[in-house]
Amino acid sequence: MELPLLLARQLAKRRMGRQWRCRRRRGDVLAGLDFLALLRSLLLCFVWRLQNQIFTSESLSQFDGASKELPIYLSILGSVFDVTSGRQHYGVGGSYHHFSGRDATRAFVSGNFTGDGLSDSVRGLSPIEVKRIGDWRSFYHNSYSYIGKLIGTYYDSNGKPTDELLRVEKRIKRGEELLKQQEAEEKKFPTCNSRWSQSEGGEVWCDSGYPRILSKPSPLPSQGSGESRCACFAEKQLNRPGLAVYPGCEARATVCKTS
């Protein structure tokens, strides 16, 4: 009887040892998982802080690419992006350096990179121009790291959108609507063929129909007529309002000189 009892005790000890080792391993795994969860939480917190920095114009100006020790930042519509990876473009001497360390929103469509042209104001721009600025903002979101907001025209000191930003967002949507209307019109009335040479000047022509100058209504009523383009029209469409014959061109000509 003593031998079976001894064997039973040895088996029990082994079982308890395995259970203890299993619990220890499980405890080590859980501790490891807790550490990974903590590390992940800290990383997310760091990223959140990195993407929610609040800048003043003065603090943003320090990141204009003049110092190779510092990153390069720019702002568009109050959203700040890290463009350091494009230092060859945004650093000193780069073709886009005028955007660095500031919010020069207006210059993205005006092409004025000096003085008052380097402004964050979109006052007086058409909805389509404002929509193009919105496209630039999307480009930076997709191509570079978003890191925060600039206090001023578009965000307050708490990083909340201002009324001006809300108005701009509405104008961006209006610009999208107008572009869709223009695209629909251009499908209806095809654009003329065109060419230009220094010796012969410019000319437009239609493979089918007659070339006409088609005025696009301006989105801003106070500005009267907007842009114009050459479009081809069939005979029965020539009485449509807003059409003009090219100067010096016959009404039924299919080719017209433009210069």
pLDDT of residue 80: 98
Residues 66 and 109 in one domain: yes
Number of domains in the chain: 2
Same domain, 98 and 145: yes
| 202 within some domain | yes
| Phi, psi (rounded to 5 degrees) for 177 | -65, -45
Would residue 49 count as lying in a domain? no
pLDDT reported for residue 5: 52
Tell whether 235 is covered by a domain.
yes
Say if residue 210 is in the same domain as residue 161. Answer: no
- Do 148 and 117 have their domain in common? yes
In angstroms, the CA 119 to CA 26 distance is 61
Chosen domain end from 149, 178, 207: 178
Range of the domain at 82: 54-178
In a shared domain, residues 132 and 232: no
In a domain, 114, yes or no: yes
Specify if 99 maps to a domain.
yes
Instruction: State whether 85 and 173 are in the same domain.
Output: yes
* Residue after which a domain boundary falls, among 114, 147, 178: 178
Do 123 and 143 belong to one domain?
Answer: yes
93 shares its domain with 170: yes
CATH of the domain at 69: 3.10.120.10
Boundary-marking domain end, from 158, 178, 198: 178
Same domain, 231 and 163: no
Residues in Cβ contact with 223 at an 8 Å cutoff, skipping those fewer than 6 apart = 126
pLDDT per residue, tens digit, the chain (259 aa), is 454 555 555 555 565 555 555 556 655 655 565 666 666 655 554 444 555 799 999 999 999 999 999 999 999 999 999 999 999 999 999 999 999 999 999 999 998 998 889 999 999 999 999 999 999 999 999 999 999 999 999 999 999 999 999 999 999 999 999 999 888 877 888 899 999 988 889 999 999 999 999 886 544 433 444 578 899 999 999 998 889 999 999 999 999 998 8
Q: Within 62-101, where are the H helices?
A: 87-90
Is residue 41, in this structure, part of any structural domain at all?
A: no
Calpha distance 96→84 (Å, rounded): 12
If one counts every other C-beta atom within 10 angstroms of the C-beta of residue 243, the result is 16
Rounded-to-integer distance, Cα 142 and Cα 129, Å: 20
Give the per-residue pLDDT at 77. Answer: 98
pLDDT at 225: 45
82 and 152: one domain? yes
> Is there a domain that residue 230 lies in?
yes
Extract the tokens encoding 49: 């802080």
In a domain, 251, yes or no: yes
**240 and 188 Cβ atoms separated by less than 8 Å:** no
pLDDT of residue 47: 47
My answer on whether 198 and 150 are in the same domain is no
Q: How far apart are CA 58 and CA 234, in angstroms?
A: 59
Cα–Cα distance for residue pair 168/150, rounded to 1 Å:
16
210 with 166, same domain: the answer is no
